[in-house]
Amino acid sequence: GYASAAWAYQKLADVALYNIALINGFHSGNDGFVPGFSGSEQNAPKGGALLVSTGSKVVMHACSFTNCISFSSSEYPLGGAIANAGGMEMEGCIFSGNRAINYLWPKGGAIYNK
């Protein structure tokens, strides 16, 4: 089941996510996501849950991203759930309540795709 499907996707990408739920993710620097967003301001402008670097490819299947936030008061936040500078393929994914927050020019409430 899941292991074989994840392995098949992994052959196509640098990062493969299969049947994963990220809830209340909040990006802090480049360290991924921290469960339980506290509401305090962080300098974390790119990808509330996932940052895909240039030259990388991510494949996602049946993943759920809920209430993830990219926030910055000094930089442009990109992608409440995902900031993508590489390649991306998605199938059967659900995005709900994701936000990019800024006073100026937020981009991509759920996904920012460069």
Question: What residue type is assigned to position 14 of the chain?
Answer: D
pLDDT of residue 92: 83
Domain count, the chain: 1
Using CA atoms, how far apart are residues 66 and 50, in angstroms rounded to an integer?
12
Collapsed DSSP state (helix, strand, coil) of residue 40: coil
Domain holding 43, by residue range, is 2-113
Indicate yes or no: pTM above 0.85.
no
Q: Lowest-pLDDT range, 37-41, 60-64, 108-112?
A: 37-41
The confidence score (pLDDT) of residue 24 equals 62
Q: How far apart are CA 106 and CA 37, in angstroms?
A: 18
CA 19 distance to own-chain centroid = 14
pLDDT of residue 45: 57
For residues 22 and 26, the model is more confident at: 22
CA distance 35 to 49: 9
